[in-house]
Amino acid sequence: MSNIPPRKKVNKKYTWNKESVFKTQKDWEIALQAVLKDAPKVKKFEGKLGESSAILLAALDAIESLVKRAQTVFMYAQFEYAVDTTNQDSASMVGKAQSMFGQVAAATSFLNPELIQMGREKLNIWMKESSKLAVYKHSFDDLFRQQAHVRSAEVEEILGMLADPFSGASNSTSMLVNADFKFAPAKNKSGKKVEVTQGNYHTALMEDPDRKLRQSAFESYHDKHIEYKNTLATNLSTSISANVFNMRVRKFNSSLSASLFNNNVPDEVFHNLIETFKRKLPVWHRYFEIKRKALKLKDIQYFDMWAPIVKKKPKISFEKAVDYICESLAPLGKEYVDTVRQGCLKDRWVDSTVNQGKSNGAFSYGAPGTHPFIMMSYTGEVGSMSTLAHELGHSMHSYLTWKNQPFAYSSYSLFVAEVASNFNQAMMRGHLLKTIKDKNFLIALIEEAVSGNFFRYFFQMPTLARFELETHQRMERGEPLNADAMQNLMADLFSEGFGKKVKIDRPRVGMVWSTFGHLFADYYVFQYATGISGAHALANRILKGVPNAADDYLGFLKAGSSDYALNVLKKAGVNLATPESVEETFSIMEGYIDQLEELIG
């Protein structure tokens, strides 16, 4: 069995700098209790916002201060749990933090209904009189855009209180798959047992050259999900039911429209992506066949998608990966690059260790006033380097937004989130494909691009988006969503996507939906595909030497939510309201496939 250390034995150098947020867990508890104590105090402004601009400003300041503190408390608990899901203290912290956030949401829920009741005309007059209030113009504009879907103060308060119980299905699934699941060990071609964990499955095991090990790990991993398929299906169905409930309460015609409306994104953006994806499936079919031949397989299966063509994987230390990434991002300027290097090597932004109980996957998470932290399991391979570049894109998006925007615009929508992350990867490949001469490294780099990044974002995610749309529509029609229905739907969609030459293990491939916690974030998965499209379009502008392209991109990172997502991207040079960038990105992927075919002969 491989030796994966417990959390307490990992090198602190490669853990997140939690001490910079709260020195001790006791300090976190004190901060939590202070938020709970102060939450009811903002209610003193309820019913008084229309009395004067000074009272409105005071209310906005009080609410923002409270929410900012709540975000920091919540983030700390979530991050501490993610790096070690076996820690019961951390799990308890998450529960407390979620309950706290629900109370904050309920306490501040009067704000939007009361602003709408005051009316646009009064706010416009006050904004002309007060430069501090004028900062909120876009926020107010967006609120009145949503006016038809904002309910009374009483209903909004109830909806705020529902945030905590509605998160139960997601929390239950996370605890089940990350903390409780114990996978049967896989066996390699020699019959040796190899441990299967959330931390090593998606990287080390699925990327191992030993096909017997990959298949054994794939079966172990998905068989555990099949064993609990009814619980997993019930949890996801509950989450979808909550989405449909919110859709109806807020008077939308569909859950898709309800979700996209928040970011002022038309439904056509979703449908354009899906239609372009379906039309471009032959590109994927060509790649699957090239990979099958390169691997010398009679048939290729799901668990072969990450199998290495290279005979020996390049090994890259964490520090060397930071060097490569910084070199690639040099066109963005010295300040950007120095910030990345400082964050990775000195300020401990990155929790890069592999340890028992660590959540699968990777993410960037922080709050205004903290570092933009990254959780991942760095394994020293090209894929890990690419993941680091990806998460640093998120982190720098947060860092520059927090640095340049007031709290009202200190976040950015999920619709643009995956642009910054994939941009970094596109820049890294553009640089390394030109500067690295080692054939083995180049093959590994292109494989990571297509089998890793593109397969996930441009194949799995659109397929999951189709699954998500269909399951929501069934729920909207009042049709039951059980485990078998979900399993069959997922198997059907992947069968269509893979084409006739990929062999499908229907029961196990049909459970892929249960391995993506992203589905608990309503209509998030399709935004990975639009994100990678916008990213490559923007990176291409810089790589091709378009004048001011780097400044345009930095402007996008600094904008936060100060304008609608589509508008911010348009200013940076890409229009995601049309299929053009999706088609352009498929062309880029075809270029990678051409290079791969040439390299492997």
Q: Answer yes or no: is pLDDT of 19 > 50.
A: yes
Residues 235, 238, 244, 245, CA torsion sign: negative
Q: What residue ranges of the chain are covered by domains with CATH 1.20.140.70?
A: 10-166
CB 292 within 8 A of CB 501: yes
Q: What is the distance between the alpha carbons of residues 161 and 124, in angstroms, rounded to a whole number?
A: 31
Q: Is 511 helix (H, G, I), strand (E, B) or coil?
A: coil
Q: Answer yes or no: is pLDDT of 119 > 70.
A: yes
Q: Can you count the helices (H) and strands (E) in the chain?
A: 29, 7
Token pair, residue 100, equals 């706290």
Q: Indicate which residue of 80, 157, 207, 391 is catalytic.
A: 391
* End-to-end alpha carbon distance in the chain: 37
The whole-angstrom distance between residue 589's C-alpha and the CA centroid of its chain comes to 21
> What does CATH list as the number for 318-444+525-600?
1.10.1370.20
Fold assignment, 10-166: Butyryl-CoA Dehydrogenase, subunit A; domain 3 (1.20.140)
Place of tokens 């903002």: 42
* Per-residue CA distances from 74 to 56, 83, 471 (Å): 26, 15, 30
**pLDDT tier, 168 (very low <50, low <70, confident <90, very high otherwise):** confident
pTM to 2 decimal places: 0.86
pLDDT at residue number 379: 87
Q: Answer yes or no: is pLDDT of 43 > 60.
A: yes
Mean pLDDT over 97-110 rounds to 94
Question: Which of 279, 301, 308 shows the shortest CA–CA distance to 501?
Answer: 301
Interacting residues of 318 by C-beta distance below 8 A, sequence separation 6+: 14, 344, 350, 352, 378, 380, 388
> For 447-504, what is each residue's pLDDT tens digit?
999 998 999 999 999 999 999 999 999 999 999 899 999 999 999 999 999 999 999 9
Interacting residues of 88 by C-beta distance below 8 A, sequence separation 6+: none
Interacting residues of 99 by C-beta distance below 8 A, sequence separation 6+: 164
The torsion angle over the Cα atoms of residues 303, 309, 314 and 318, rounded to 10 degrees, is -30
Q: Answer yes or no: is pLDDT of 352 > 70.
A: yes
CB 256 within 8 A of CB 270: yes
Rg, C-alpha atoms of the chain: 24
> For 523-580, what is each residue's pLDDT tens digit?
999 999 999 999 999 999 999 999 999 999 999 999 999 999 999 999 999 999 999 9
Token pair, residue 372, equals 């933009």
Q: Name the DSSP class of 147.
A: G
**pLDDT tier, 393 (very low <50, low <70, confident <90, very high otherwise):** very high
Q: Answer yes or no: is pLDDT of 1 > 70.
A: no
Q: What residue ranges of the chain are covered by domains with CATH 1.10.1370.20?
A: 318-444+525-600
The helix (run of H) or strand (run of E) holding residue 593 is helix 580-600
CB 1 within 8 A of CB 193: yes
Q: 51 an active-site residue?
A: no
